[in-house]
Structure 1
Amino acid sequence: MTWISKSVTGLGLLFLAHACYSAYEHSALHSTSTAALSTTSHIATAASSLPIDISIETLVAVFTVCLGLVLGTPELRPIQWRVWAGKIEREGEAGYTNIDGQVDKDYVGNPFRVLESRPGFVDIRKQRKEFAAWVREGGGSDATIKS
């Protein structure tokens, strides 16, 4: 997270804490005033909800926290494997460094490395002809004499 996203998230959390404290104080004040009124008079008071300023402050605080968290998220990775592999081949480690300059733990290098390093198809007929030529040249007789 960058300092901008951290500061926006912190400011939103501060607003949210203030809204929660204001709501608590309002409910505590309302309950003590209702208890005092009920003992002195038998008039039923309507249940009051939170004032509109506390509700607006809560909504603004939640929006600010969400905005700060969204600003701090890293760039999303491509979903398609070929796009992801192409990005790794083009950019290498530089495309997968985080804000601190360290390479992400899910960076694996060239994804086509396994495909490029595997042996090709085996041509049995070609190997049979090479073996027959080797035997005709005396490769087989030298091996039996030496052993």
Structure 2
Amino acid sequence: MTWISKLTTAFGLLLLADSCYSAYEHSVLQTHRAASLSSLTSHSGTAASLPIDITIETLVATFVICLGIVLGTSNLRPIQWRVWAGKIEREGEAGFANNSGEVEKDYVGNPFQLLENRPGFVDIRKQRKEFAEWVKGQD
């Protein structure tokens, strides 16, 4: 993660912690108010919902945290395997470096290397003929 994404995520977490504390304080104040009112009168009051500023702060904090996490993710890989393999062949390790400049753990190099370096088909008739000539040459 880059420092911008870390800073954004930390700011979002700070906002979320503040909104959670504000919601807790609001619920405690409502409990004390209900307790003091119930001692004065015998009728029960309705429970008050959270103020709109706490709700908005919670939503903004969640959005900022999500933004910070998205900013810190690496680039997505192509879905098609042939496109991904072409990128490996063109760019090599530089194309799979993360935000900090390190090569990703699952980078294995050219996926077509095994196919490009495999031996060709074996011609048994040719080998039999060469072996027969070799045996004749030994006598």
Which bracket does the TM-score occupy, shorter chain normalised? Answer: over 0.9
Name which of structure 1's ranges 46-55 and 78-87 shifts more when overlaid on structure 2. 78-87
User: 1:100, 1:14 → 2: CA distance?
Assistant: 25
Deviation of 1:9 after TM superposition, in Å, equals 0.9
In structure 1, give the amino acid aligned to 2:72.
G
Aligned to 1:101: 101
Output one character per residue of 1:94-144: Cα deviation in whole Å (capped at 9) or x when no partner: 1111222221111111211211222110011111222223333x23x2xxx
Q: Which runs of 5+ in 2 are unaligned?
A: none
Name which of structure 1's ranges 25-34 and 103-112 shifts more when overlaid on structure 2. 103-112
Kindly indicate whether residue 86 of structure 2 is the aligned counterpart of residue 86 of structure 1.
yes
SS in 1 for 2:77: coil
Q: How many residue pairs are counted as aligned between the two chains?
A: 139
User: 2:73, 2:81 → 1: CA distance?
Assistant: 22
User: 2:99, 2:32 → 1: CA distance?
Assistant: 52
Aligned to 2:74: 74
User: 1:72, 1:63 → 2: CA distance?
Assistant: 14
TM-score (norm 1): 0.88
Q: Which runs of 5+ in 1 are unaligned?
A: 142-147
TM-score (norm 2): 0.93
User: 1:4, 1:16 → 2: CA distance?
Assistant: 18
User: 1:73, 1:103 → 2: CA distance?
Assistant: 14
Aligned to 1:145: none
Cα RMSD between the aligned structures? 1.3
Kindly indicate whether residue 58 of structure 2 is the aligned counterpart of residue 53 of structure 1.
no
The sequence identity of aligned pairs, in percent, is 69
Aligned to 1:30: 30
In structure 1, give the amino acid aligned to 2:119.
P
